[in-house]
Every structure is written in structure tokens, then in C-alpha cells.
Amino acid sequence: MALVGPLFSLVSGLIALLAPRRGRGFWRLFTIWFGVLSVQSFFGYLMTGPFVAYGDVGHAFRCSMPGRCVRRILVVGLLGTFALAGSSPNSCSAHRGEG
């Protein structure tokens, strides 16, 4: 039950990013922005979990995973953050100049 928040962030972000993009201008850019922030929230959960012993993710990491797995999850969070940061400007810059 503790991981519902991070999983919801991931799923809602992926739906927003992978759904067919309709419309133009503000609403299309808003959908991309929403998707990027939601997926980044998921990666943020993965990166903060190993350092915080309280909260939903911290509790789940401390109770049920060995330290080796927690470190791997931290690396996945870091790599996901960098990958998302690398792809986001391309998605957003395609909408420059649209009204």
C-alpha cells in the first residue's frame, strides 16, 4: 500500500506522455509538462527512499529490501532523471512559437 503514490505518478505520467497528442499550443504543452513532472516524481521517490527512513517509500525500502537492492533502485532513479532531462527539452522545444 505504501507504493501507491509513486506508482500512480509513474502511470499517470506515462499515460500523459504516450497518449496521442491532440490539440495545439498551451494544452498540448501542458500535457507534456504534466507527464514529465509526474514521471520525475516517480524517479524522485526512487532517489529519496534510500535516505529517508520515514514516509511511504522510505518505510517500504527499509522494511522489505536488502541494502544492495536499495542502492540499485537509487541508481535507476538517477538514470531515469537524466534520461528524462535529456528528452524533455526536445519535446518542449517542438512547440515554440505555437499560439
Where residue 66 falls (left for φ over 0; alpha for ψ -120 to 50; beta otherwise) is beta
At residue 9 the predicted structure's pLDDT band, cuts being 50, 70 and 90, is very high
Residue 65: burial class (beta carbons within 10 Å; 0-12, 13-18, 19+): middle
Q: How many CA atoms lie within 13 A of 16 on its CB side?
A: 21
Backbone dihedral angles phi then psi of residue 51, each to the nearest 5 degrees: -100, -15
For 31-73, the pLDDT digits (tens) are: 888 999 999 999 998 888 878 877 777 777 777 677 788 888 8
Is 83 or 24 the better-scoring residue by pLDDT?
Answer: 83
